[in-house]
Structure 1
Amino acid sequence: MAEIENAIIMAAGLGTRMRPLTYKTPKPLIRVAGKPMVESVIEGLHQNGIYDISIVVGYLAKQFNYLGEKYPGVKLINNPYYNQYNNISSLYVARNELKNTVILDGDQLVMNPKLLKREFTHSGYAGAKIDQFTDEWIMHPDQNGKILQCDRSGNDHGWRLYSLSKWQAEDSLRLKGYLEAEFEHAHHYDIYWDDIAMFDYFDEFSLYVMPIAANDIIEIDSVDQLKQVDQRLTKRG
């Protein structure tokens, strides 16, 4: 059994699918039910006693500065590559923060804070079981939850991967080494950081699905979806 020591929140991207809202506001700072999405993530971490939080910023980075004052323990890490490379660059610049760590995106809503509990037994990803086709990454675990393979182009069965993952210190050290190998030496700038563990070096990790319900995490990918979620959560109060 391991215990989460810190969190890394990815918040450097351009948020192109949310334009025109993101022309002036980075996606993680867009409000849903009156609160910036990234603040909902931070408060969920705090509810679970996780206060050492690194936020990787890039696009419109200065707009995040207030978070360090509002939430003690939050620090910002600048990604100077955000406009050139894929999100491998964001975890690369935060690689020294990897230990017993939870990694998640700042532009999602964690509706069930229990997902962020500090105690965990295996490194792995949050996943919800599906019964119809989705083009998201789909994990296929064995009966014990160990991930045997992942489909990059989607599937109609399996477990949909969500961008919330927990890493034990030993796996974090391994992940850090491969980040450096890919970014510094192989110059593979255009891959997702998750490619390292789920595809490129899959056999070097033993990753497990952390089962969640489909509505435990909300990923907002369009302005229309934002309006729908905002209206629903506002009404719910």
Structure 2
Amino acid sequence: MANKIDNAIIMAAGLGTRMRPLTNETPKPLVRVNGTRMIESIILALHKEHIDDITIVTGYLADKFNFLSEKYDGVKLIHNPYFNKYNNISSLYVARKELKNTIILDGDQLIYNPEILSSNFENSGYAGSWTENWSEEWIMHTDSNGNVISCDRDGGEKGWRLYSVSKWTTTDSAKLGEFVEKEFNNKNYDIYWDDVPMFLYADKFNLSVHKIDETDIVEIDSIKELSNIDSSYKKYVE
């Protein structure tokens, strides 16, 4: 059955410690890459797919994001007061009431192909690109129908590399919000929110891989990776 995205949740609460000193005074999603802030490239990509209802979860240097709700219609901010104490389950916990037919993204990546954010989708699941070789990223494995049957969180090969772009039906969103709230209230603070559907309650979800090409998204985890894309940052690694 076809579904249509109602809204987006962008995770932007993190400290960005691996990007210091750039993030000493600027949240990582607001770092410019070739002139454009990462999170703004995501907002513009969502707009191209007619997704205008956008919630940004802030934490570290939250006030730096205030201009976004003024610059873009439909953008609202939710503050995560737990950002410096708990893992990112806390960000989805504070935004759980926003879950509908929802796309969830991290704010510190570059979307080179907006079509992967298409508002039309069939099943809940994560964006993934096929990898034959070993990768240290989370690797999803599927059955012949494309359903996720396992995930190697410590790396793997011959599987689908998981990216932090996921889409959720209203039915699965209701379960996701319920389980995130349950784990958070049980003080399971140190997990990723993705652990909830992928591991802790995997039997409650039927996830698919939303197949993408590895060039469609770039996740930037270090200044060195950033400098390879934007040469103006090479001074930080030389």
Q: Percent identity?
A: 60
**Alignment-derived partner of residue 181 in structure 2:** 180
In 2: Cα distance, 1:91 partner to 1:120 partner = 21
**Alignment-derived partner of residue 85 in structure 2:** 84
In 2: Cα distance, 1:46 partner to 1:231 partner = 28
**Alignment-derived partner of residue 11 in structure 2:** 10
**Alignment-derived partner of residue 236 in structure 2:** none
**Alignment-derived partner of residue 60 in structure 2:** 59
1:216 maps onto 2:222 in alignment: no
Instruction: Report how many residues are paired.
Output: 231
**Alignment-derived partner of residue 199 in structure 1:** 199
In 1: Cα distance, 2:230 partner to 2:167 partner = 28
After superposition, residues 4-153 of structure 1 pair within 5 angstroms as 4-153=5-154
Secondary structure at the aligned position of 1:22 is classed as coil
Shift of the alpha carbon at 1:231?
3.8
* Structure 1 gap segments, 5+ residues each: 233-237
Shift of the alpha carbon at 1:149?
0.5
**Consecutive aligned runs of 4 or more in structure 1 exceeding 2 Å deviation:** none
In 1: Cα distance, 2:158 partner to 2:85 partner = 34
Q: Counterpart amino acid of 1:215?
A: T
Shift of the alpha carbon at 1:153?
0.8
* Structure 2 gap segments, 5+ residues each: 233-238
**Alignment-derived partner of residue 164 in structure 1:** 165
My pick for the range that moved more, 28-37 or 135-144, is 135-144
What's the CA shift string for 1:174-231, capped at 9, x where partnerless?
00100111001x2100000000000000000000000110110000011011011124
Q: Counterpart amino acid of 2:210?
A: M
In 1: Cα distance, 2:158 partner to 2:115 partner = 25
**Alignment-derived partner of residue 235 in structure 1:** none
Secondary structure at the aligned position of 2:23 is classed as helix
In 1: Cα distance, 2:87 partner to 2:142 partner = 27
In 2: Cα distance, 1:165 partner to 1:88 partner = 15
What's the CA shift string for 1:123-176, capped at 9, x where partnerless?
000000001111111000112210010011111220100000000000000001
| TM-score, length of structure 2 as denominator length | 0.96
The CA RMSD over aligned residues, in Å, is: 0.9
**Alignment-derived partner of residue 235 in structure 2:** none
| TM-score, length of structure 1 as denominator length | 0.96
In 2: Cα distance, 1:196 partner to 1:103 partner = 14
Q: Counterpart amino acid of 2:18?
A: R
